[in-house]
């Protein structure tokens, strides 16, 4: 429409100028009547031309009207003045109408721009909310997996299984293949680096989103493949026993939320390790005699059966010695239970001092003790038993020397199973006590 107005406007001005001039000179006496037609032309021109063109047309008609006054009488001149005034009144009305339209268009344009801006902002907000929702969805998925992971961690049976399970879970939850547990052992895949050293020194977790911008570390010592790092210490009794490490060749690969997730897993692993320790202590307490510090009867029965099975498989020998402190009841009744307990402790100390690390010392019951000698011949067992008898005889308890009697049996020479081996050793112990005590009997 604008292009049409720019093209048609000048043509209208030229045509009107030629036409009006011709009509004025042809119809000199009828100039006022012709101006009625001119007013209609001004109105019509306003619909096909720009406002300025309409103004020029009105000005042109006014000039021609003023010229026409020279050809009119007084009444005609008055009529021309009225008609010229009417033309400019109409032009003024048209200008008001045009300005109102322009104002409305400008207002509409502003509203349209505001709407477009609001739409763009809404699009950006929707895109931002979409990214946030995607991140939230990822975090929700991670925390769901975290709940299941903690249940898996607490079910592991040993430290090696815990290490393997922990690394698998971290890789799955954070979608990262480059995760490892550093325990400062020769078996570790990679030795500790400057980041591990920092964690050990500070005993604190470490998150680096861009290694080249972290001025705590000498970037010349950092491999080009390491751009972001997470390192979290694993503690036990306030000491670092390992470090969970994740590296990436991308900047900003890990976030604070990632470190929080790993910290939760590490805390669960630490509690699991503590449970291992407590379980071991509980197990140890359940198989250790509280007074003498040697194994209890239940543990003796289990180990003796195991040693016999192993000796049978590998064609080895196992010896068993049953010992009894001589006249212990009289000593206990005479000097009291505290001195009796002291005698039991002293004998257990002699046993631990004389026996080898592979030998299994147990309190069989009361003042009786049993010793399992894996892969030991009867002659070797006899030599150890004699040393025990002699050494214990040197002990002085409440001013008294106490002796011990012992009976020895051997698998497979004397017995072929667990019960026979015990019975044979017990028979020889009884024989040692009935034939004078303070001796070792190892054959019939």
309 lies in some domain:
yes
Report the C-alpha dihedral over residues 121, 125, 127, 130, rounded to 10 degrees. Answer: -160
My answer on whether 315 and 365 are in the same domain is: yes
My answer on whether 67 and 191 are in the same domain is: no
- The mean predicted confidence, pLDDT, of the chain is 80
126 lies in some domain:
no
Boundary-marking domain end, from 83, 115, 147: 115
My answer on whether 165 and 102 are in the same domain is: no
**Residues 413, 379 contacting (CB under 8 angstroms):** no
pLDDT of residue 133: 65
pLDDT of residue 275: 77
pLDDT of residue 6: 46
Read off the pLDDT band of 283 (50, 70, 90): low
For residue 363, what are the β-bridge partners? 369
My answer on whether 249 and 309 are in the same domain is: no
291 lies in some domain:
no
Boundary-marking domain end, from 223, 251, 280: 280
Strands 206-208 and 228-236, bridge-based pairing: antiparallel
Q: What tens digit of pLDDT does each residue of 184-204 get?
A: 666 666 777 889 889 988 889
Which CATH number covers residue 240?
3.30.450.40
pLDDT surpassing 90 at residue 166: no
Which CATH number covers residue 404?
3.30.70.270
Read off the pLDDT band of 340 (50, 70, 90): very high
33 lies in some domain:
yes
Q: What tens digit of pLDDT does each residue of 10-60 get?
A: 555 555 555 555 555 455 445 455 555 555 565 555 555 556 666 666 666
* Pick from 92-96, 237-241, 344-348, 409-413: least confident: 92-96
Q: Which residue has the tokens 């050990």?
A: 200
Mean local confidence (pLDDT), 307-313: 91
pLDDT surpassing 60 at residue 384: yes
127 lies in some domain:
no
My answer on whether 267 and 302 are in the same domain is: no
Q: Whole-prediction pTM value?
A: 0.48
Print the domain residue range for 407: 297-441
Please indicate whether residue 262 or residue 1 has the higher confidence score (pLDDT).
262
Read off the pLDDT band of 370 (50, 70, 90): very high
Please indicate whether residue 28 or residue 443 has the higher confidence score (pLDDT).
443
292 lies in some domain:
no
When divided into structural domains, the chain yields a total of 3
My answer on whether 248 and 332 are in the same domain is: no
pLDDT surpassing 90 at residue 351: yes
**Residues 80, 35 contacting (CB under 8 angstroms):** yes
Q: Both tokens of residue 214? A: 């972290």
Angstrom distance (rounded) from CA 86 to CA 246: 89
My answer on whether 265 and 301 are in the same domain is: no
315 lies in some domain:
yes
Boundary-marking domain end, from 115, 143, 173: 115
My answer on whether 269 and 312 are in the same domain is: no
My answer on whether 437 and 346 are in the same domain is: yes
Please indicate whether residue 81 or residue 138 has the higher confidence score (pLDDT).
81
330 lies in some domain:
yes
My answer on whether 437 and 303 are in the same domain is: yes
Please indicate whether residue 276 or residue 46 has the higher confidence score (pLDDT).
276
My answer on whether 310 and 433 are in the same domain is: yes
**Residues 343, 405 contacting (CB under 8 angstroms):** no
My answer on whether 107 and 177 are in the same domain is: no
């Amino acid at each position: 429409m604008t292009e049409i107005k720019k093209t048609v406007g000048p043509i209208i001005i030229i045509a009107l100028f030629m036409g009006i001039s011709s009509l004025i000179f042809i119809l000199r006496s009828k100039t006022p009547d012709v101006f009625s037609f001119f007013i209609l032309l001004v109105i019509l021109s306003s619909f096909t031309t720009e406002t300025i063109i309409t103004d020029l047309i009105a000005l042109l008609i006014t000039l021609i009207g003023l010229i026409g006054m020279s050809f009119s009488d007084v009444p005609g001149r008055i009529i021309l003045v009225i008609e010229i005034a009417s033309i400019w009144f109409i032009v003024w009305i048209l200008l008001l109408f045009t300005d109102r339209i322009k104002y409305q268009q400008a207002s509409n344009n502003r509203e349209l721009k505001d709407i477009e801006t609001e739409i763009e902002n809404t699009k950006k907000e929707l895109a931002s909310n979409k990214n946030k929702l995607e991140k939230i969805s990822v975090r929700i998925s991670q925390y769901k997996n975290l709940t299941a992971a903690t249940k898996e961690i607490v079910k592991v049976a040993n430290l090696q299984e815990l290490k393997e399970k922990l690394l698998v879970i971290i890789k799955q939850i954070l979608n990262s293949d480059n995760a490892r547990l550093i325990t400062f052992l020769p078996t570790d895949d990679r030795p500790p680096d400057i980041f591990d050293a920092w964690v050990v020194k500070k005993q604190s977790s470490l998150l680096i989103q861009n290694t080249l911008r972290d001025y705590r570390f000498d970037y010349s010592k950092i491999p080009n493949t390491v751009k972001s790092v997470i390192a979290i210490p694993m503690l036990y009794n306030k000491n670092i026993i390992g470090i969970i490490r994740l590296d990436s060749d991308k900047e900003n690969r890990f976030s604070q939320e990632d470190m929080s997730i790993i910290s939760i897993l590490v805390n669960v692993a630490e509690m699991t390790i503590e449970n291992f320790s407590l379980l071991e202590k509980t197990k140890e307490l359940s198989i250790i005699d509280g007074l003498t510090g040697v194994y209890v009867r239940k543990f003796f029965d289990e180990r003796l059966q195991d040693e016999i099975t192993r000796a049978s498989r590998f064609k080895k020998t196992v010896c068993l010695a049953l010992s009894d402190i001589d006249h212990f009841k009289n000593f206990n009744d005479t000097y009291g239970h505290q001195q009796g307990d002291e005698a039991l402790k002293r004998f257990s100390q002699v046993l631990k001092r004389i026996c080898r690390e592979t030998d299994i010392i147990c309190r069989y019951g009361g003042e009786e003790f049993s010793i399992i000698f894996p892969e030991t011949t009867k002659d070797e067992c006899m030599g150890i038993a004699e040393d025990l008898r002699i050494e214990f005889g040197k002990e002085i308890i409440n001013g008294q020397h106490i002796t011990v009697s012992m009976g020895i049996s051997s698998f497979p020479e004397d017995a072929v199973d667990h019960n026979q081996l015990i019975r044979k050793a017990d028979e020889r112990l009884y024989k040692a006590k009935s034939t004078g005590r303070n001796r070792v009997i190892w054959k019939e």
